[in-house]
Chain A
């Protein structure tokens, strides 16, 4: 009889062990703008999510509370449209039973998604969603990775003032919530530091021809242009002010110039700066996760393209969620939210810390931005350099940039 019991145990043991060791799954839902005007930036954000998932799953999954969770994504195309976001986030929560959510790309889409996630008590890490307003609605489960839009242009305007205190600014920006919020904060900051605003106009996000606006900028005698919106309009704006030889000393556009795709504009890309949430050259010492160089290398190997800050933000959103789950030891949203409230860490993306006050809960208060500029290397190839702040600088800012007379600061001062 004893041998029979032993045999039965031997047969059943793998099943018991298998059950005990079986990986559980954590489901993360989000939408991607596979189509529509946010396509480029959203795809880069998605690649960040995807690389994080693949690396964590390859390493065995998320280990928390004595369990191991493999990561499963549920994602759909939001077509860059808020109405799709509303439907799809509801679906991911109610039908697909997502445990956590990542935001769609852009402040506008995220504001829509946040209403759905908060109503359902689901935790969402936002990335590519900088507008402050969304985080000042009394939300409890919303956590922002990016530096808020109110600080977006600070580095660009500081850099500009350091090169030319008498500059006249033109603000030309997309009439969407993120770009308008950035421009409003930028104008206030420009006035605070004594820069003159000579021109100010918003344009529809679907604008395809910026010729009339550039004529107005020229007529206003502005010497610097700040604004843009997302990739499609920013790239068109950059190409047109280059082709129309608008003699601008300094151009800083939101979002678009950060994409590696921006180099397709050729000479029109040269000298354009972008307030950047992160650049591969940034040398933060991470408390966990890969270094910036390691992330950039893995990203390049997987996608044959350098990462943008949207990609870095996507990857870090995953890491921060993973860290919070590990700290909480559970998938319970309230406990993970508590862990996020206590988060104050540095990754390759920089510092991450969330506001915990009731009136701005989840707002990012730890992360800092840099200013990057497209310059040319010795071989004449376009390369992005960090030009501000001085302590993070990888190259001096080319100033002024206009038409074939691009100079470094020293050359410009000599010429004067």
Chain B
């Protein structure tokens, strides 16, 4: 197997996680026009959620995704009522400041509780070895979990009654209210779902690499790139854009130093913002 092919496959697996991380940001941004600056902190909470559960229960860490997502959902509901509900209809700067404050509070509490020392979830699934390259079981499982979660969210948004209500509120909040949909309830659940997805992506990342309370930051940045690529409120679009970003990383890293990757990604970010402000999948999804 060639180095480029191995790098592309690695990019594919990691890209699925970028996609999952971005889904939560995209959902919240798309439905309530709130740019959640606590997204990275929520990803980090997902990392610590799986770490704490795994260190106490010592069962298959992927089973722990479910309680982590449930916990993320509840945390999301709480944050919505405490910090978002009051500013959701006000200028966007207010929600930016409010979620940034949540981010600082969570990181402050996390630093006090866990410091910024790296933690490690010592759980490994056996991987696949092709020639000199090994693709770890954790990378493959994370990619599969991300695809399943993206498909589930897509199914929920387009088939379930409540999912349709979320889309209706996203499209036209006043119109949805006139049809009897409680937008406050819908926004709260959408925020909870967004945080739940962020926590899930954090849990999956925690099984791949050591992490600290600050580790969500890098995935938050990638989530912005992915969300801009995909357009808002499109879970499958976010997954595809995440995969695209991962493949881009995989394609360039054999040829340039890894430290150039953020420069290339953010150049792409600016390019898409200028030429495709509604995302590259505008007409496809």
Residue A60 lies at the interface, judged by CB distance under 8 Å to chain B: no
How far, in angstroms, from A247 to B131 measured CA to CA in the complex? 11
Q: Cβ of B133 and Cβ of A208 under 8 Å apart?
A: no
Q: How far is the CB of A177 from chain B (nearest CB, A)?
A: 15
The bracket for how many chain B residues form the interface is 35 or more
Q: Cβ of B209 and Cβ of A213 under 8 Å apart?
A: no
Q: Interface code A373-392, partner B: CB below 8 Å = 1, 0 otherwise? A: 00000000000000000000
Q: Which residues in window 6-24 of B have CB below 8 A to A?
A: 6-7, 10-11, 14
Q: Cβ of B120 and Cβ of A265 under 8 Å apart?
A: yes
Q: Cβ of A202 and Cβ of B122 under 8 Å apart?
A: no
How far, in angstroms, from A35 to B110 measured CA to CA in the complex? 11
How far, in angstroms, from A245 to B214 measured CA to CA in the complex? 28
Residue A410 lies at the interface, judged by CB distance under 8 Å to chain B: no
Q: Cβ of B259 and Cβ of A202 under 8 Å apart?
A: yes
Q: How far is the CB of A220 from chain B (nearest CB, A)?
A: 9
Q: Cβ of B3 and Cβ of A35 under 8 Å apart?
A: no
Q: How far is the CB of A236 from chain B (nearest CB, A)?
A: 5
How far, in angstroms, from A231 to B212 measured CA to CA in the complex? 12
Residue A66 lies at the interface, judged by CB distance under 8 Å to chain B: no
Residue B274 lies at the interface, judged by CB distance under 8 Å to chain A: no
How far, in angstroms, from A39 to B117 measured CA to CA in the complex? 6
Q: Cβ of B118 and Cβ of A34 under 8 Å apart?
A: no
Q: Cβ of A201 and Cβ of B254 under 8 Å apart?
A: no
Q: Cβ of B259 and Cβ of A235 under 8 Å apart?
A: no
Q: Which residues in window 11-69 of A have CB below 8 A to B?
A: 34-37, 39-40, 43
Residues in A whose Cβ lies below 8 Å from that of B258 = 201, 203-204, 207, 212-213
Q: Cβ of B120 and Cβ of A239 under 8 Å apart?
A: yes
Q: Cβ of A175 and Cβ of B259 under 8 Å apart?
A: yes
Q: Cβ of B209 and Cβ of A215 under 8 Å apart?
A: no
Residue A209 lies at the interface, judged by CB distance under 8 Å to chain B: yes
Residues in B whose Cβ lies below 8 Å from that of A36 = 116, 214
Residues in B whose Cβ lies below 8 Å from that of A211 = 10, 14, 139
Residue B89 lies at the interface, judged by CB distance under 8 Å to chain A: no
Q: Cβ of B210 and Cβ of A39 under 8 Å apart?
A: no
Residues in B whose Cβ lies below 8 Å from that of A235 = 118, 120, 210
Residue of A232, A247, A266 near B118 (CB, 8 A) is A232
How far, in angstroms, from A265 to B122 measured CA to CA in the complex? 7
Residue B60 lies at the interface, judged by CB distance under 8 Å to chain A: no
Q: Cβ of A35 and Cβ of B116 under 8 Å apart?
A: yes
How far, in angstroms, from A108 to B250 measured CA to CA in the complex? 31
Residues in B whose Cβ lies below 8 Å from that of A203 = 257-259
How far, in angstroms, from A203 to B253 measured CA to CA in the complex? 12
Residue of B115, B218, B250 near A212 (CB, 8 A) is B250
Residue A243 lies at the interface, judged by CB distance under 8 Å to chain B: yes
Q: Cβ of B249 and Cβ of A39 under 8 Å apart?
A: no
Residues in B whose Cβ lies below 8 Å from that of A244 = 127, 133-136
Residue B132 lies at the interface, judged by CB distance under 8 Å to chain A: yes
Q: How far is the CB of B21 from chain A (nearest CB, A)?
A: 12
Residue B172 lies at the interface, judged by CB distance under 8 Å to chain A: no
Q: Cβ of B218 and Cβ of A216 under 8 Å apart?
A: no
Q: Name which residue of chain A comes closest to B123, CB basis.
A: A266
Q: Name which residue of chain A comes closest to B213, CB basis.
A: A35
Residue of A35, A231, A265, A266 near B111 (CB, 8 A) is A35
Residues in B whose Cβ lies below 8 Å from that of A239 = 120, 209-210
Q: Cβ of A218 and Cβ of B210 under 8 Å apart?
A: no
Q: Which residues in window 189-234 of A have CB below 8 A to B?
A: 201-204, 206-209, 211-213, 215-216, 218-219, 231-232
Q: Interface code B220-254, partner A: CB below 8 Å = 1, 0 otherwise? A: 00000000000000000000000000000110011
Q: Name which residue of chain B comes closest to A79, CB basis.
A: B116
Residue B201 lies at the interface, judged by CB distance under 8 Å to chain A: no
Q: Cβ of A209 and Cβ of B209 under 8 Å apart?
A: yes
User: Given known contacts A37-B116, A208-B215, A211-B14, is B122 in contact with A216 (CB within 8 Å)?
Assistant: no
Q: How far is the CB of B209 from chain A (nearest CB, A)?
A: 5
Q: Which residues in window 235-282 of A have CB below 8 A to B?
A: 235-236, 239-240, 243-247, 261, 264-266
Residues in A whose Cβ lies below 8 Å from that of B261 = 212
User: Given known contacts A240-B209, A243-B138, is B259 in contact with A35 (CB within 8 Å)?
Assistant: no
Most buried by B among A35, A212, A219, A261: A212
Q: How far is the CB of A5 from chain B (nearest CB, A)?
A: 61
Residues in B whose Cβ lies below 8 Å from that of A209 = 14, 208-209
Q: How far is the CB of A245 from chain B (nearest CB, A)?
A: 4
Q: How far is the CB of B238 from chain A (nearest CB, A)?
A: 19
Q: Name which residue of chain B comes closest to A231, CB basis.
A: B118
Q: Cβ of B117 and Cβ of A215 under 8 Å apart?
A: no
Residues in B whose Cβ lies below 8 Å from that of A236 = 118, 209-210
Q: Name which residue of chain A comes closest to B122, CB basis.
A: A266
Q: Name which residue of chain A comes closest to B138, CB basis.
A: A243
Q: Cβ of A216 and Cβ of B134 under 8 Å apart?
A: no
How far, in angstroms, from A207 to B210 measured CA to CA in the complex? 11
Residues in A whose Cβ lies below 8 Å from that of B250 = 212
Residue of B14, B115, B120, B138 near A264 (CB, 8 A) is B120
User: Given known contacts A36-B116, A202-B259, is B3 in contact with A215 (CB within 8 Å)?
Assistant: yes
How far, in angstroms, from A80 to B111 measured CA to CA in the complex? 14
Residues in A whose Cβ lies below 8 Å from that of B124 = 243
How far, in angstroms, from A35 to B118 measured CA to CA in the complex? 11
Residue B129 lies at the interface, judged by CB distance under 8 Å to chain A: yes
Q: Cβ of A35 and Cβ of B115 under 8 Å apart?
A: yes
Q: Cβ of A261 and Cβ of B117 under 8 Å apart?
A: yes
Residues in A whose Cβ lies below 8 Å from that of B262 = 204
User: Given known contacts A35-B115, A40-B117, A245-B129, is B257 in contact with A202 (CB within 8 Å)?
Assistant: yes
Selected A-B contacts with CB under 8 Å, 11 pairs: A39-B212, A40-B118, A208-B211, A212-B11, A215-B3, A215-B133, A215-B254, A218-B3, A243-B138, A244-B135, A266-B122
Ranked nearest first, the 9 interchain pairs of A and B with the lowest CB-CB distance are A212-B253, A219-B3, A245-B134, A39-B116, A243-B136, A211-B10, A204-B259, A35-B116, A244-B134
A244-B134, A245-B127 known; 5 other A-B pairs, CB under 8 Å? A39-B117, A206-B218, A208-B215, A218-B3, A239-B209
